[in-house]
């Protein structure tokens, strides 16, 4: 499982490197690696949060359309 996650992460880093290559070319290779790793981490964390919030949202009761909201 860990190997698959590492492999997926490396693929994602490579894809982001391709996408952002023009923008990050002024950085040293070391800083490029740090930035790309940070971007992948942020992306994975955001996905996790959105997946959890979607599950929470799907479990919430729905509001009928005839409900009116009032500003106080």
Q: Tens of pLDDT along 15-69?
A: 999 999 999 999 999 999 999 999 999 999 999 998 888 877 667 666 666 666 6
Structure-token pair, residue 50: 């959105």
Instruction: In whole angstroms, give the CA distance from residue 48 to residue 43.
Output: 9
Check residue 54 and give its pLDDT: 80
Q: CB within 8 A of 17, min separation 6: which ones?
A: 24, 32, 36
**pTM given for the model:** 0.68
Q: CB within 8 A of 37, min separation 6: which ones?
A: 13
């Amino acid at each position: 499982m860990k190997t698959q996650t590492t492999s997926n992460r490396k693929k994602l880093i490579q894809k982001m490197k391709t996408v952002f290559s023009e923008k990050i070319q002024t950085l040293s290779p070391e800083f490029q690696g740090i930035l790309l790793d940070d971007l992948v981490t942020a992306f994975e964390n955001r996905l996790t949060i959105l997946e959890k919030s979607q599950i929470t949202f799907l479990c919430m009761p729905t509001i009928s359309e005839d409900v009116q909201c009032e500003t106080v």
